[in-house]
Chains A and B, each alone.
Chain A
Amino acid sequence: QKEVEQDPGPLSVPEGAIVSLNCTYSNSAFQYFMWYRQYSRKGPELLMYTYSSGNKEDGRFTAQVDKSSKYISLFIRDSQPSDSATYLCAMSIGPGAQKLVFGQGTRLTINP
């Protein structure tokens, strides 16, 4: 069993739709959770960073963490074609220079 599981998709939705991306994990020691967006042939860019259960909102993006269920989500509201990318969840045990464990990534396409 992988430490972090993420549905690779692909996921295709119409413009304006609400997108839900999810990851589950097995290691209860994970305390820090991140969502990255990666465009083709580019390095990942950080979208959201959370370290506690609950919701965190930033513009059209909401990150949700449920440590009791070992489940994290990223919601994208009013999705735009420019949101089309691969979304990767990542997590670590500590806040310092700890290695990240990534999910497989979900390929998302927003259709105009």
Chain B
Amino acid sequence: GAVVSQHPSRVICKSGTSVKIECRSLDFQATTMFWYRQFPKQSLMLMATSNEGSKATYEQGVEKDKFLINHASLTLSTLTVTSAHPEDSSFYICSARDQASYGYTFGSGTRLTVV
């Protein structure tokens, strides 16, 4: 089945620094990937849709200058949290859809802690 690899699984960074999270589709090509954020005991909130070769589409209320998305190839999308602050601490998850299968495959998530 389709596999989406996400790294790192957890990261701790100092306030003011930037953190990059990678999302790779391992055995399929994904022209579109999605980035979600999940707070404890809450559901997934879509942050942005990442489109290969073009600008990402951000959901209302998501700061595009803070959450930089790059989708440079058909198998890789990156999310960079710039100038991170403690309130950015959360669980970030990416997903993609393999056209040959149903549903959307999710990465294992990245737990970001900003201290």
Contacts and interface: CB of A to CB of B under 8 A. Distances in A.
Given A102-B44, A105-B43, A43 B111 contact: no
A41, A43, A103 — which one has the most chain B CB atoms within 10 A of its CB? A43
Contact of A102 (B4, B43, B97): B43
A104 interface: yes
A17 interface: no
A44, A90, A107 — which one has the most chain B CB atoms within 10 A of its CB? A44
Contact of A43 (B32, B41, B106): B106
Chain B interface residue bracket vs A? 20 to 34
Given A49-B102, A100-B34, A43 B43 contact: no
A42 B9 CA distance: 9
A103 B43 contact: yes
B97 A88 contact: no
B28 interface: no
Contact of A104 (B32, B42, B104): B42
B105 interface: yes
A97 B106 contact: no
A107 B41 CA distance: 9
Contact of A44 (B42, B44, B97): B44
